Amino acid sequence: MKTSDVAMLDEPKIHEPTADAVVEPAIEGRPRPTAVGIKDAKIYIDGKFYAEADARVSVFDHGLLYGDGIFEGIRFYNGRVFRLGEHLERLWDSARSICLEIPMTKQNMTEAVLETIRQNHLRGGYIRLIVTRGIGNLGLNPKQCKTPSVIIIAAAIALYHENMYRKGLTVVTVATRRCSPGALNPAVKSLNYLNNVMARIEADLAEADEALMLNDAGNVAECTADNIFIIKRGQIVTPPVTAGALRGITRSVVFEIAAELGFKTLKADITRHDVFAADECFLTGTAAEIIPVVNVDGRSIGNGKPGPITTRIMARFREMTRETGTPIFEQD
């Protein structure tokens, strides 16, 4: 392992959970009858709410034609939106990076997100917040797009079934490399996700739960929709953003939890060997939350079961999602 911006640190004391400890996902992953899993769903488009069947965008929207736009995935639990402020900060950062003017203030965006949840009568679920360049012509030049479009979708779905949080994921390394920051910076949560989609297809063909993506240097970057962490001798390690990893919101929460629990964290370049030799491995993402990995490229990670540190971090994360966040309803 090659360190990037932090020196190797002493091993922390590990307090293992009981053998019967089980971590439940915060939101169920059972199939639902509609695309968003909500009966009579209401979708926000540019200041108005539409029924799911009537929610449409123009075929000339640059988000459709060229993937020209940005997005955030946001979770809400128990009547509170988790880390809403951080998600909006990252949305605005992405917008500045691609010269996209978001057509509303952060305060107005906050209210729009909360009202979308209220319109759908939810207390827990997932929000997809999208800002496209807007309607233009078939030309590539974004100057033809005069008004960006804001879309907010509330969903009652989860990325993984609850059993996977207990048993762990199987991951394979794929041939598709993570986009270089010099081509399309992973710090921008762009609507252009073809790089990730191609890696996802490879994982599906290999009958794996997720795909591990490397960068052009051959080091681990991230998975198709998640950051990756490994644990070795009590130390928690994740690739730096310079390796092509997204500066994930849940990733930053893990740093907070690790510090609170007394574990040391390190941002460092890691190789597939480091993953194979790890004692534990887990993924983080807004949709995935925190989920263990037990097998990578046919190699069992540790003893092939979710590890004690991962289990503790998952449990603390679940507590945080229940207790903190921006209230959706006034009484909360």
What residues contact 204, with CB distance under 8 A and at least 6 apart?
A: none
Residue with tokens 């490229």: 297
Check 39, 42, 146, 189 and give the catalytic one: 189
Distance CA 27, CA 126 (A): 9
How far is residue 102 CA from its own chain's centroid?
A: 21
Query: Cβ distance 113 to 129 under 8 Å?
Result: yes
Q: Are 191 and 72 in contact (CB under 8 A)?
A: no
Within 8 A by CB and 6+ apart from 144, the residues are: 136, 137
Beta strand 125-132 pairing with 265-269 = unpaired
Per the CB < 8 A criterion, the answer to whether 119 and 166 are in contact is no
Q: How far apart are CA 126 and CA 119, in angstroms?
A: 14
- The separation between the first and the last C-alpha atoms of the chain, rounded to the nearest angstrom, is 46
As a whole number of angstroms, the distance between CA 48 and CA 50 comes to 7
Backbone angles phi, psi at 74, to 5 degrees: -130, 140
* DSSP letter, residue 150: E
Dihedral sign for Cα atoms in the order 279, 280, 281, 284: negative
Hey, what are 242's tokens? Answer: 């310079």
To the query of whether residue 189 is one of the catalytic residues in this protein, the response is yes
Alpha carbon separation from 222 to 160, 204, 242, 279, 296 (Å, rounded): 17, 17, 11, 18, 13
- Catalytic residues, by residue number, are 189
